[in-house]
Amino acid sequence: MNFLETRLPGAFIVEIEPREDVRGLFARTFCAGEFSAHGLESSFVQCNLSLSRQKGTLRGLHFQRPPWGEVKVVRCVRGAIWDVIVDLRPESPTFGRHAALELSAKNRRALYVPKAFAHGFQTLKNNVEVHYQMGSCYMAEAADGIRADDPALGIQWPLPLTLISDRDRGLHMLADIKDRLFREANPAALEPVHPVGGTA
* Contact assessment for residue 133 and residue 141, using Cβ atoms and an 8 Å cutoff: no
Write down the catalytic residue from 38, 62, 119, 194. Answer: 62
Write down the catalytic residue from 98, 112, 119, 132. Answer: 132
Q: Which residues contact 53 (CB under 8 A, 6 or more apart)?
A: 126, 127
* φ, ψ dihedrals at 54, nearest 5°: -115, 135
Q: Which residues contact 186 (CB under 8 A, 6 or more apart)?
A: none
* φ, ψ dihedrals at 81, nearest 5°: -135, 155
The number of residues making up the chain comes to 200
* CA nearest to 130, candidates 29, 43, 58, 48: 48
Verify whether residue 132 is a known catalytic residue. yes
The Cα angle at residue 81 between residues 77 and 84, in degrees rounded to 5: 120
Verify whether residue 112 is a known catalytic residue. no
The Cα 68–Cα 55 span in angstroms is 31
Active site residues: 62, 132
